[in-house]
Structure 1
Amino acid sequence: MGKTLFDKIWDAHVVSSNEGFPDVLYIDTHFIHEVTSPQAFDGLRDRGLPVFRPKQTVATADHNVPTIDQHLPIKEELSRYQVDMLTKNCAEFGVELYGLGHPFQGIVHIIGPELGITRPGGTYVCGDSHTSTHGAFGAIAFGIGTSQVEQVMATQCLLQQRPKRMKIEVNGQLNKGVTAKDIILYIIAQISAAGGTGYFVEYAGDTIRSLSMEGRMTICNMSIEMGARGGLIAPDETTFEYVKGREFAPKGKDWDKALAYYKTLYTDADAQFDKVLTFNAADIEPMITYGTNPGMGIGITQSTPATESIEAEEQSSYKKALAYMGIDDNAPILGKAVDYVFIGSCTNARIEDLREVAQFVKGKHKADNITAWIVPGSKQVQEQAIREGLDKVFIEAGFALREPGCSACLGMNEDKIPAGKYCVSTSNRNFEGRQGPNSRTFLASPLTAAATAVTGVITDVRTMLESEFAEFV
């Protein structure tokens, strides 16, 4: 019987396998940042251990960093301490650090791909749940806990139970104004925030194949939001073209050898999955969440579910979520006034996202009631945006283009949404207080966020798309 792509990569990285025990899995690259690494470094220090393979460890500062005045000392004491500790720990243990001011600094899941560190067939881990982003390259990538961060630092290996395999197919042509973010929000809404628990997902189908690498990264990024261990997409010419020539990608004869291997990375025709789900792209419209987990999502023209339509044991938590969000059941979201628009995060802060938003807002201006932040995912994205003049478009439209970092995706830095305020966000989580204590989050695509910024209310972007822009999306 044939193998799935997941099994091919997993089997190639198993160092030891014994029945009844987790596999010992070799990790090609370990990404670290300032939040989940300090305790791991302390653990090594206490045991007198070095980082086993520092050249396969890549560090950056992203979660706690400010996104304005990055040349000045960080104001928040805890954030400053964590970033300072990352600098000291990396210097002591010989780990390369792309810290503030470095041309490669940025959100960990954005710099790996853009630098050519993330490649097909590899294994990648990080003390961050959205490590599944890297699976877009046909790789096994997943988040790990702090004790596991220490384990990988000490051994370059990890004890892991092999998850079940799920295939999610999406076929057909996307409707106008529907993007990769809408695809993944739709899937999660259909199967729930726990629908992928215990599985590693392979995304397939001609709709997925039609996506750019940036779109594929958005899809894989949110695999964890359906409870899955991770997600991946088989590499193809789109993948190879993206990786080729990047800073740390193989060059010359090494590239030829690597490419030959990359082309073997696909699921065999007779491979078996534990579960297969199929969706039609034509059924997907621009999506928006209304509750306090990413599975609570609806098409932009739909109404929130009626309470009586929710299973009895879940009605209490449903009512609690609606109360927190200050919205009614069986009611439309369209037209609701909001206060903030955040375009950024490891889900949607790549140059393609910024180009898409800039093309939409050019010649328009944000509504007076909106504070609009655009936060590039890396210094490279920021510099590219400036070279292309996108910064001028944003400024003229009243949007603030800030400096790279995780920013308002999570309330761990200075970019917080005030209590009670509403934010349409391109990030990946809408948990209670995720963007700041008592903040309220609607997850959406960059296009929907941009349209909302311009109108001041939650908007169906399709009503605003010009014909030439519709072709672009």
Structure 2
Amino acid sequence: MSKGTLFDKVWDSHTVGTLLQGQTQLFIGLHLIHEVTSPQAFAMLRDRNLKVLFPSRTVATVDHIVPTENQARPFVDTLAEEMMQALEQNCQENNITFYNIGCGNQGIVHVIAPEQGLTQPGMTIACGDSHTSTHGAFGAIAFGIGTSQVRDVLASQTLAMNKLKVRKIEVNGTLKPGVYAKDVILHIIRTLGVKGGVGYAYEFAGSTFEQMNMEERMTVCNMSIEGGARCGYINPDQVTYQYLKGRDFAPKDADWDKAVAWWESNRSDADAEYDDVVTFDAGEIPPTVTWGITPGQGIGVNQAVPTPDELPAGDRTLAQEAYRYMDLAPGQPIQGTKVDVCFIGSCTNGRISDLREAAKIAQGHHVAEGIKAFVVPGSERVKKQAEAEGLDKIFTEAGFEWREAGCSMCLAMNSDKLEGRQISASSSNRNFKGRQGSSSGRTLLMSPAMVAAAALKGEVFDVRELL
């Protein structure tokens, strides 16, 4: 029985049936694939002599392993080249649309689907990548899935899933200058914890999200998974529809009005029932930086690394591990922490508005001596648009490297890696041990504008002082 939330409405409308063990067999409207989690899935299909059931509902791109400097084929990395060839062959054999390097539409899977209008309200979306929750910004319910589930969707266009509870996270008010969508989601995860969302879908609501553009909303939903939620979404509204109208795969002409009516019908009802409701005041959210080894270990840029007695008892063991790994002392101010590498990009913050905000900070300044700073557009379209606006010149004149589209140093399955104990100011989404390519490398998560500020100063710096 629907509780009147968007999650329940979309879930119910995509339910094929209930399996014997009680799971829902859920129809998946859009399946996104890339080179990392799909080769094994296609191999499993071949082993079972199965075909892709609905090739037109699957779209592929290459993002994780692509080099962002020299993209000449074959790639220098032989494993990356093998993965690339496997994806090319699998898409060709199964008649799947593939956005390859140089076609003008290649990029990070969670950037290209929204910018082309593939992602739409009321959809179910799956991808073999944990940050598929990004697409919930459009009022879709979108799940990251494992390789065996990629196989299942290719073969049946369905997933077996247990239904989630729904937590409403309401943020109201206007963000202060220097505070961005990235700070909002880091603040939420810091407060609720990295396991706080386990078993939940997060519905982000309130005036703060209503004021955000679609790219800011994508940043928030992207990191729902980092708070333990299986998906996160925002109800579609006029901001959503204006973003989608005219895009490649958006409905046209008379179909547009029908689509908007359908999208509106999926919005959560005013009297919808939630399993939990949490509220935040936007005015209290500061520019936020992670200090530890999970996205939940974050603090305001003007705050100090928490001492054990400031933390809940259950968080102290992990904090001790984080102090040692990060070489940060309890009570130490985070501002002034020296950095070596500054990375702007990823499926969290590699869109055009992210690059614009970072460019505002970089313009007229220069990267500090000894700092490696680089900018990686989230897609070929983003790169082209940024260059048309002259953002690439602003960055290069300020001493940043300007790269080709890809996931880059977010998880470093390519040539963009930290070395040794280097510490990175990163606009990506995870600060786990070894996440950015070095088993001992360290990551500080922050907004793109904060990364730009860190690059200019050579240390964690309050971006508000540069605005």
Range of TM-score over shorter length: over 0.9
**Secondary structure of the residue that 2:208 maps to in structure 1?**
helix
Aligned to 2:173: 172
| Counterpart contact for 1:37–1:86, Cα < 8 Å | yes
How far apart in 2 are the matches of 1:3 and 1:33? Answer: 34
Q: Structure 1: which amino acid aligns with 2:450?
A: T
**Secondary structure of the residue that 1:346 maps to in structure 2?**
helix
Report the TM-score when normalising by structure 2.
0.98
Query: Where does 1:73-222 land on structure 2 (aligned, <5 Å)?
Result: 73-222=74-223
Query: Where does 1:412-431 land on structure 2 (aligned, <5 Å)?
Result: 412-431=413-432
Aligned to 1:446: 448
How far apart in 1 are the matches of 2:422 and 2:3? Answer: 52
Aligned to 1:227: 228
**What do the CA deviations read for 1:217-256 (whole angstroms, capped 9, x no partner)?**
0000000000000100000000000001001111111112
How far apart in 1 are the matches of 2:184 and 2:200? Answer: 19
Q: Structure 1: which amino acid aligns with 2:69?
A: I
Shift of 1:311: 3.7
Q: Structure 2: which amino acid aligns with 1:127?
A: G
Shift of 1:2: 5.0
How far apart in 2 are the matches of 1:128 and 1:101? Answer: 23
Q: Structure 1: which amino acid aligns with 2:451?
A: A
| Counterpart contact for 2:5–2:273, Cα < 8 Å | yes
1:458 alignment partner, one of 451, 457, 460? 460
| Counterpart contact for 1:2–1:269, Cα < 8 Å | no
Of 333-342 and 252-261, more deviation after overlay is shown by: 252-261
| Counterpart contact for 1:172–1:281, Cα < 8 Å | yes
Query: Where does 1:2-81 land on structure 2 (aligned, <5 Å)?
Result: 2-17=3-18, 20-81=21-82
| Counterpart contact for 2:19–2:25, Cα < 8 Å | no
How far apart in 2 are the matches of 1:315 and 1:206? Answer: 35
* Number of aligned residue pairs: 465
How far apart in 2 are the matches of 1:7 and 1:313? Answer: 33
**What do the CA deviations read for 1:288-343 (whole angstroms, capped 9, x no partner)?**
00000000000000111112333445423211111111111121110111011000
RMSD of Structure 2 on Structure 1 (CA): 1.1
Query: Where does 1:246-395 land on structure 2 (aligned, <5 Å)?
Result: 246-395=247-396
How far apart in 2 are the matches of 1:19 and 1:63? Answer: 37
Q: Which runs of 4+ in 1 moved over 4 A?
A: none
**What do the CA deviations read for 1:149-179 (whole angstroms, capped 9, x no partner)?**
0000000011111011100000011111000
How far apart in 2 are the matches of 1:388 and 1:313? Answer: 49
How far apart in 1 are the matches of 2:137 and 2:120? Answer: 9
Of 316-325 and 125-134, more deviation after overlay is shown by: 316-325
| Counterpart contact for 2:411–2:436, Cα < 8 Å | yes
How far apart in 2 are the matches of 1:164 and 1:221? Answer: 19
How far apart in 1 are the matches of 2:91 and 2:270? Answer: 45
Q: Structure 1 residues 17 and 317, CA, compared in 2 at 3 Å: closer, same or farther?
A: same
Aligned to 1:409: 410
| Counterpart contact for 1:70–1:101, Cα < 8 Å | no
| Counterpart contact for 1:411–1:433, Cα < 8 Å | no
| Counterpart contact for 1:378–1:404, Cα < 8 Å | yes
How far apart in 2 are the matches of 1:173 and 1:340? Answer: 32
How far apart in 2 are the matches of 1:179 and 1:19? Answer: 45
Q: Structure 1 residues 3 and 317, CA, compared in 2 at 3 Å: closer, same or farther?
A: same
Shift of 1:106: 0.3
Structure 1 gaps, min length 5: 466-473
How far apart in 1 are the matches of 2:19 and 2:433? Answer: 41
Structure 2 gaps, min length 5: none
Shift of 1:264: 1.6
Report the TM-score when normalising by structure 1.
0.97
How far apart in 1 are the matches of 2:292 and 2:209? Answer: 27
**What do the CA deviations read for 1:69-128 (whole angstroms, capped 9, x no partner)?**
213421112211111111111111111111122211000000000000000100100000
Aligned to 1:471: none
**Secondary structure of the residue that 2:248 maps to in structure 1?**
coil
**What do the CA deviations read for 1:26-67 (whole angstroms, capped 9, x no partner)?**
000000000000110001111111110001000000000100
| Counterpart contact for 2:4–2:271, Cα < 8 Å | yes
How far apart in 2 are the matches of 1:187 and 1:164? Answer: 18
| Counterpart contact for 2:367–2:398, Cα < 8 Å | yes
**Secondary structure of the residue that 2:450 maps to in structure 1?**
helix
